[in-house]
Structure 1
Amino acid sequence: MHSITPASDAPPPSRVVRVLGGLSVTCAGVRLVVPPGSRRLLAHLALHPAGVDRRAAAGILWPAVGDGRAAGNLRSALWRLQQVGCPLVEAEQTVLRLRDDVEVDLRHLEAWATRVLAGAPEPADLAVDPGPIAQLELLPGWYDDWLLAARERLQLRLLHALEALSRLLREAGRPAAAVEAVHVAVLAEPLRESGQRALIEAHQAAGDWVAARRQYDAFRRMLRREVGVEPSAELTAVATAHG
């Protein structure tokens, strides 16, 4: 995540919850052991910075048991989480949330994507390594229903952001970096026409018209083979244009 967070003179955060690539917690640089029964609660709170309703969270995290048992499981998970030796959760009567001084890696990534997609990046946003971004996965190996939609949304958002990053790099006069940024997105989802178009345009911006046409021809063959359709007329027009 260091490549996504802009450089700063501020001291490193004392409490960090990471959900990208797996769940982990560090406090003052020391990695904490999160009790097994509290891991899902901590992850759920990390995904909801505004906080969650206690009753709703209990039902989401323990859907296979009754309301009373789910509420008991939530209380137990919360109590164990409060015994890890580092305050992480702010518990109100009806709402649970992570404390304001707890940083979550996902929020840095979301903020980066928001700036890039809005076309208003900070200078450091254009210097990130696109490879690690494309490989980021939200809590891999977890298959809870409440998590699957969030993981899919994040993956789609990252693909959009990498395509937008490529366009911004082209506009900044860095076509080679633009090719690299969108290439990792195309490798992740080769049938997305928006990614293929961004890659073709990046090749063209770099003056490599042969690579641009080769990319289009390869995409056309793959689309015919896998889906049985042709590329859009708009993409064909872009790919067959001449510099």
Structure 2
Amino acid sequence: MAARIQLCGSFVVELSPGVTTEFPSRQTRVLFAYLVLSRPHPVTRDALVDALWGDTSPASAGAALSVLISKLRTTVGSDLIRGRTEVAIALPDDTRVDVETAFAALHTAESAIATGEWQRAWFSALTAQFNARRTLLPEVELAWVDSWRRRLADVRVRALEAYASACLQLGGPELPGAERASRELLEVAPMRETGHLMLMRSLAAAGNTAEALAVYERLRRHLREELGVNPSRDLQDAYQALLI
């Protein structure tokens, strides 16, 4: 079984199957996460100081970093943490990292949609959602963590779009999934017009045409009042098709 690293939600590291690695401190967890997300590139000590402390690095940051690197080597094994002036983590090639899984699954889902492989898109989009909806390192407030969180938020939005699209194409028992994903998409990205379009289509496919029309009308009023614009041509076309 491959090593498993979960950086979103609960912090879990299993370098051996079924054996959870216990880290001695929050700072060693942050250092480990930064090295994992930076791999395979080595990271300079200055970059590590910035990653750990940001603008509040102590005067003794260099010495403190050395202590943390030593503790990390003790925790995960000296064979995994390599380098002195530049530090890198050497994980087995088959290691599963939830952040990387989210990005890879989204790519697979969007590629499958482009080729009409709806079942493959459905599964991959669900995987991307599952990994991207949890907060990365929830106990940490640092600029590089915020940057990764924004990237994962985008993954979540696009995965919801892909999942709703796949559910609509598969139809039948998957139609409620399309509606749920569309509504969740509107919660996290209320101005994203694709969410409104997906919700209209899923409601109409389930026979709820009046509710689908109401979705469009609410969006039309909101866009007019807030931005002074009309819904996109795709939304207008979908609305007109429902009126026929």
Q: Structures share a fold, TM > 0.5?
A: yes
1:57 aligns with 2:73: no
Question: Whole-Å Cα distance in 1 between the matches of residues 128 and 40 of structure 2?
Answer: 29
Aligned in 2, Cα 1:92/1:111: closer, same or farther, shift over 3 Å? same
Give TM-score scaled by structure 1 length.
0.78
Question: Whole-Å Cα distance in 1 between the matches of residues 205 and 118 of structure 2?
Answer: 22
Equivalent positions of 1:14-25 (< 5 A) are: 15-25=3-13
Contact preservation (8 Å) 1:51, 1:98: no
Aligned in 2, Cα 1:240/1:70: closer, same or farther, shift over 3 Å? farther
Fraction of identical pairs, as percent: 25
Contact preservation (8 Å) 1:137, 1:151: yes
- Return the letter of the residue paired with 2:43: D
Question: Whole-Å Cα distance in 1 between the matches of residues 221 and 24 of structure 2?
Answer: 51
Q: CA RMSD in A?
A: 3.2
Structure 1 match to 2:69: 78
For structure 2, the 5+ residue unaligned runs are: none
Give TM-score scaled by structure 2 length.
0.77
The equivalent position to 1:45 in structure 2, one of 29, 35, 38, is: 35
Structure 1 range deviating more: 84-93 or 231-240: 84-93
The aligned length equals 231
Structure 1 match to 2:193: 193
Question: Whole-Å Cα distance in 2 between the matches of residues 191 and 45 of structure 1?
Answer: 35
For structure 1, the 5+ residue unaligned runs are: 1-10
Structure 2 match to 1:171: 169
Structure 2 match to 1:110: 103
Q: What SS is found at the alignment partner of 2:4? A: strand
- Return the letter of the residue paired with 2:18: G
Structure 2 match to 1:136: 134
Aligned in 2, Cα 1:152/1:211: closer, same or farther, shift over 3 Å? same
Structure number with the higher helix fraction is 2
The equivalent position to 1:126 in structure 2, one of 116, 122, 125, is: 122
Equivalent positions of 1:209-220 (< 5 A) are: 209-220=209-220
Aligned in 2, Cα 1:194/1:98: closer, same or farther, shift over 3 Å? farther
